[in-house]
Amino acid sequence: MDLMEKITALCKRRGLIYPGSEIYGGLTGTWDYGPLGVLLKQNIKQEWWKSMVVMRSDIVGIDAAIMMNPIVWQKSGHLEAFTDPLIECMICHSRFRADKKEEIETHEKTHKEKTNWTKPKKFNLLVEAKLGVIEGEKQTVYLRGEITQGAFVNFENVVSSTRVKVPFGIAQIGKAFRNEITPGNFTYRSREFEQMELEFFVEPNDKEGDKCFEYWKKERMTWYESLGIDKSKLRFRKHEDTERAHYAKYAEDIEYQAPFGWSEFEGIHHRGDWDLSRHGLTYTDDSGKKFTPWVIEASGGVDRSLLVFLLDSYKEDDKRVWLSLSPKLAPYKVAVFPLLANKPDLVKKAKGIYDSLKPHFMTAWDDRGNIGKRYLSQDEAGTPWCVTVDFQSLEDDTVTVRDRDSAKQERVKAPDLENYFSKKLS
């Protein structure tokens, strides 16, 4: 079993990620996040928001609507240029992106005879929806293909309602939708996904644009490294002229060495004045100078980042499987056990500790099976620390704290646990 199969099985078994609409055969390219998955996803978004908005004075946040006036997508160029090249197998009529050579070669091997393909056609990725109550009079709108435009159409609102001045940024996290031709590689390429994006506005000159671009490259790579991703499996890849998005002056991707190859999960884009000029928006500084700012964008996928964190943290040996997630991202920070579930004094003591930790940390309770199986179960869930209440706990008010990665144990005073874990999470 390869790593992707192991991750997929683990995600379903432990309640991280389920196939969307599974009881009815599923819906390709959609995924549901289970009890552990939604916690991991929320922690990723929370750490991103903290680094981008909470800890900075030059960035503000918004939450724009998913459905927007169709003129937005006309002005942004998405109705015309938001396309992929599509080809169709003339034997089985399967469709693929013409630029995905490896997927095409793999498909060709499924046929005995030589595969013939149609000529590439442009395929727009925007997902259409209909608004209105009367058939035949419904308005065509689009589920946003990127969350970016929400920042641009609200540019003037943000400037007039806050005290931000160029250079400044607008950050947001939200759902986006793309009519992907060939979803695949688990959650990596999906039709419904979540983005965490920053649009940073600077004065329109090469010096400021280049400096800001390099700054955000460094910031974003450092963020992933600070959350434990193996540096040797991360790299920047510069976009070639032929692959840049229609809005980009230049762009670089942060890629991870996944089992299916080097794969992008965040892009740093120099969008120039493409967006604000298309929407007819300008900025006036304190001196009265009027200009159209340039935009440096850092656009990361929540779902792709989550998959990268899972792939990078998956560990196994002949005794156990564990997720070595950063404690900041782990769904549960602490699990509390009584050594034996049939001993009321141990259960009462453990329940008291559980109740005291719960307001401060996402804390799990487990009294099923033997203590060894409970440890293994929490290891698979990525829980950094397990607290066990044993008979010594009743005598001296100490408990055993077991570390997930090293499996080492130490005795800690029960009243000190909150401070003990807070220091480790700081």
Question: For 304-348, what is each residue's pLDDT tens digit?
Answer: 999 999 999 999 999 999 999 999 999 999 999 999 999 999 999
pLDDT at 160: 96
In whole angstroms, give the CA distance from residue 38 to residue 54.
22
pLDDT band at residue 88 under the 50/70/90 scheme: confident
Q: What is the CB-side half-sphere exposure of residue 213 using CA atoms within 13 A?
A: 24
Pairing of strands 83-88, 95-97: antiparallel
DSSP codes, 85-122: EEEEBTTT--EEETT-HHHHHHHHTT-SSPP-BPPPEE
pLDDT surpasses 80 at 1:
no
Tell me the C-alpha to C-alpha distance, in Å, between residue 418 and each of 40, 52, 279, 374, 414. Answer: 21, 27, 51, 22, 9
Q: How far is CA 384 from the centre of its chain?
A: 21
Residue with tokens 């947001």: 172
pTM for the whole structure: 0.90
The model's pLDDT over 337-376, given as tens digits with 9 standing for 90+, comes to: 999 999 999 999 999 999 999 999 999 999 999 999 999 9
Mean pLDDT along residues 293-297: 97
Structural domains in the chain plus CATH codes: 3-79+125-313 (3.30.930.10), 83-123 (no CATH), 334-425 (3.40.50.800)
pLDDT at 95: 74
The model's pLDDT over 388-407, given as tens digits with 9 standing for 90+, comes to: 999 999 999 999 999 999 99
Mean pLDDT along residues 104-112: 81
Could you give the 3-state DSSP secondary structure of residue 314? strand
pLDDT surpasses 90 at 222:
yes
Percentage of the chain with pLDDT > 70?
A: 99
Mean pLDDT along residues 122-131: 84
In whole angstroms, give the CA distance from residue 268 to residue 213.
7
DSSP codes, 277-310: HHTT--EE-TTS-EE--EEEEEEEEHHHHHHHHH
